[in-house]
Structure 1
Amino acid sequence: MNAPVANAAAAASNPKRRKAMIAIAVAVLLAGGAYTAWQVLAASRVETTDNAYVQGNVVQITPQVGGTVLAIHADDTDRVQAGQVLVKLDAADARVALDQAEAQLAQTVREVRTLYANNATLAAQVALRDADVAKAQADVTRAADDVSRREPLLASGAVGKEEFQHATAQLAASKSALAAAQSAAVAAREQLGANQALTDGTTVEQHPNVLRAAARVREAWLALARVELPAPVDGIVAKRSVQVGQRVAAGAPLMSVVPLDSLWVDANFKESQLRKLRVDQPVTLEADVYGRKVEYHGRVAGLGAGTGSAFSLLPAQNATGNWIKIVQRVPVRIALDAKELAEHPLRVGLSMEVTVDVRNTDGPLLAEGRAGRPVAQTQVYDATAAQADADVERIVAANLGRAPRVLAKAGAGTNQH
């Protein structure tokens, strides 16, 4: 008798062994059924991944002007508010440039005022030259009458030849004086027209020379205001590299501010998991830093435009002889609940476990546009332009001899007085 037949016969003759084999078979069937039920009822309704990390905006603090660092008002891990001064640079050079620009604006305003005042003076000159022309014309008429009266009497001897020559010379001199007066009147009108070309259609405040000088004042004023570097947003300071006494150039990174109230999660799903993922599907998340006792809730904000390898620094070269297929991953952005984020703060780079409920697949595959809404914005620099405009108005008003008022400056910031 062979071995299998012997074992079967032995099992049939041993009731305990037979029951054990039946129990094992039932356990295998139950496990298979449970796994199948789990796949149908639970696993097919969610997509999960632990390849997910917290992301956020890392706002670099960079100077807009160069200078020497005089003071540092925030360090790593410090919490700062939008508008709070973080770094202060030496303002000596910027202050000198502003003084020069303000003096040039004041001088320009007075020079333009002189242009407008010259219009009246030149108009009076034109009137004077016109009077000279009229007088010269009268002299010519009188001299011509004298010549016409003496010419018939010259033949009879009633008028001497010398007297007639004097009358003729007087007529010629009068005509020359008339021509000179007419030329002077033309020159006066041209001079008046040239001066009016510099002033017509504008006021002293809106004159191009004044606007150009005012723009230089604004530029110098902004350069002076920019020696103090404010925090564009609320957040936590990180990566401070600036030191006191350091000479920094415009655009050099000094530190970063991370707004921890606007974080999100980038979950990298396998390409085979994207079949049911849609925008706005509900998401539950767990952070390794808090464990399972803290659960975050969010939604799918959008799916990446490509895989991670497609945007890597050195993308894969798959058109080679030795090729092995590797499952790719696509980053999926998860928006977090702001209230939960405030109660349990996260940090950029922390690991997360993400579970997406994919039962509802009615959502779009691509996120909609923002319709002109900015991704991020700050208003800490708005007051700078307004204060520069106020400084320009003060200088213009002082050199016009009137009280300050709002300048109608196209493209200028909102004035605040």
Structure 2
Amino acid sequence: MNARTSPNEPAVALPAAAAPAPAPAHAAPAAKPARRLRKALLMLSVPALLVAGGAVWWLTGAAQESTENAYLHQARISVAPTVGGRVVAVNVHELQPVKAGDLLFQVDPQPYELAVAQAEVAVNAARLQVEQLKAALAQAEAQAALAEDDAGYQSDELARQEALSGKGVTSTSALDQTRHASRQAREKAEVARLTAEAARAALGGDAKIATDDHPAVRAALVELDRARYNLSVTRVTAPADGLIYQASSFHEGVMLAAGQAVFALVETGDAWVEANFKETQLGDLAQGQPAKVVFDAAPGKTFTGKVEAIGAGTGAEFSLLPAQNATGNWVKVTQRVPVRIKLDDAEGAAALASGLSAEVTVDTSAAADTRLAAKE
């Protein structure tokens, strides 16, 4: 292209711009197959990535079931006295850790000490009564023997009088008196025998029974053991290691009834997780499968455990007011079933507060392998 010039200026010829070198004839046709190849590779990579992602999901996610609807639970024991009375000593306070066997509080023992003393007196009285029964039996048996001898004598005397009366030696009145005396002697002997049997029955039918084996003494001994037990449980001790909870208003002087719960003991040695899985996730869940638990309150720390049990019903089934699905306005809602996870480090988890949220992942690969083998 030439530069523009003014009419008064002489035209100056400029060198023409270098024309682009013609491209080789074979370049344009070669670019099209390269673009086609890249397009084909791109189109094939998308399905390949989908297949690879599916394989990764099958190898990892498909053999796992997870839920964030899970909570930590710890055994909670309601502490209550076995016997009623006034509290005279309190040795615990709110959130105090205790060991099994530690004294928590004590009910006034004096009424129960008196009951023990009264029961001991009753035992001694029962033993004395048994000894009296043995003496009465001996006396009754002796009287029965005497009455039996007298009855035999009177029977022999009657036989002699009847023989004499047959010979006309004795009078009729004397014979009648002898008959009357013989009849009375037999009746007295019978009364004495019955008295001895009654005395023997009072001893349980065994005249040589040990005093403490007699039912009356044994009953008194049972009452004594009961009184001693009631005295021993006036001292309320911790049934397990744990943490005292809800005891802020408990103090000395409170009147308690037997069985009245006063505070709770959260047992630190027993902790588990209750994971509420959807009903569509239960197909591969089984007892004994390994699980991993992460608590929201302890991020970055993973607890291990195993599936201990799968619930017998959904939460709605065992609620106070179960849903009535036959009313005509039924809407299908995916139900959840509680699955109990037993933690390997229960004591470590017990350091957390009961009721904390958790995320549970259960490895169901064993169940998946079993299912595949069954299909094959």
Q: For this structure pair, what is the TM-score category when the shorter chain's length is used for normalisation?
A: 0.7 to 0.9
Find 1:285's aligned residue among 287, 293, 296.
293
Tell me which moved more, 110-119 or 185-194: 110-119
Once the 2 structures are TM-superposed, how far is the Cα of residue 122 of structure 1 from its aligned partner?
Answer: 1.5
Q: Partner of 2:366: helix, strand, or coil?
A: coil
Q: Supply the distance in 1 between the matched residues of 2:166 and 2:278 (Cα, whole angstroms).
A: 117
Q: 1:78 maps to which residue?
A: 96
Q: Which has the higher strand share?
A: 2
The structure-2 alpha-carbon separation of the partners of 1:254 and 1:31, relative to structure 1 and needing over 3 Å to count, comes to farther
CA–CA separation in structure 1 for the residues paired with 2:45 and 2:91: 68
Q: Is the 8 A contact 2:74 2:270 kept in 1?
A: yes
Q: Is the 8 A contact 1:129 1:181 kept in 2?
A: yes
Kindly report which structure 2 residues correspond to 1:93-132, keeping only aligned pairs within 5 A, or say none. Answer: 93-132=111-150
Query: Given the alignment of the two structures, is residue 189 of structure 1 paired with residue 223 of structure 2, yes or no?
Result: no
The residue that corresponds to 2:254 in the other structure is 246
1:26 CA displacement: 10
2: CA distance, partners of 1:25 / 1:255: 69
* 2:179 is the counterpart of 1:171: no
| Distance in 2 of aligned mates of 1:108 and 1:295 | 66
1:358-373 correspondence runs (5 A): 358-361=364-367
Return 5+ residue gaps in structure 1 as ranges: 1-17, 152-163, 365-417
The alignment-based identity, stated in percent, is: 34
From 140, 155, 180, the equivalent of 2:184 is 180
1:3-402 equivalence runs, <5 A:
35-144=53-162, 147-148=165-166, 150-151=168-169, 167-199=171-203, 200-201=205-206, 202-240=209-247, 241-292=249-300, 294-338=301-345, 341-342=347-348, 345-361=351-367
Contact 2:271 2:350 in 1 (8 A): no
**Moved >6 Å (runs of 4+):** 24-31
Q: Distance in 1 between matches of 2:366 and 2:229?
A: 53
Q: Which moved more, 1:129-138 or 1:345-354?
A: 129-138
In 2, the alpha carbon distance for the partners of 1:328 and 1:147 equals 110
The offset of 1:131, in angstroms, is 2.5
Supply the distance in 1 between the matched residues of 2:54 and 2:268 (Cα, whole angstroms).
Answer: 42
Following the alignment from structure 2 to structure 1, what is the Cα–Cα distance between the partners of residues 350 and 269? 10
Moved more, 329-338 or 196-205: 196-205
1:198 Cα deviation after fit: 2.0
- Kindly indicate whether the alpha-carbon contact (under 8 Å) linking 1:260 and 1:347 is maintained by their aligned counterparts in 2: no
In structure 2, what is the Cα distance between the partners aligned to 1:138 and 1:363? 104
Q: Which moved more, 1:239-248 or 1:129-138?
A: 129-138
Aligned to 1:373: none
The residue aligned with 1:407 is: none
CA distance in structure 2 between the aligned counterparts of 1:181 and 1:281, rounded to whole angstroms? 91
In structure 2, C-alpha distance between the alignment counterparts of 1:280 and 1:96, rounded to whole Å: 55
Q: Is the 8 A contact 2:243 2:265 kept in 1?
A: yes
Kept after mapping to 1: 8 A contact 2:75/2:267: yes
Runs of 5+ in structure 2 lacking a partner?
1-34, 371-376
TM-score (norm 2): 0.78
SS at match of 2:230: helix
Amino acid at match of 1:358: T
Q: TM-score of the superposition, structure 1-length normalised?
A: 0.70
Compute the RMSD of aligned alpha carbons. 3.1
SS in 1 for 2:251: coil
| AA aligned opposite 1:169 | S
Contact 1:280–1:363 (8 Å) recurs in 2: no
C-alpha distance in 1, partners of 2:138/2:256?
54
- SS at the partner of 1:128? helix
CA offset digits 1:22-68 (Å, max 9, x no partner): 9x999987875664344223211211112111112211112222211
Distance 1:169 1:330 in 2: 104
Name the CA distance, whole Å, in 1 between partners of 2:201 and 2:215. Answer: 12
Count matched residues. 329
Distance 1:344 1:263, change over 3 A: closer
Deviation at 1:320, TM superposition (A): 4.0
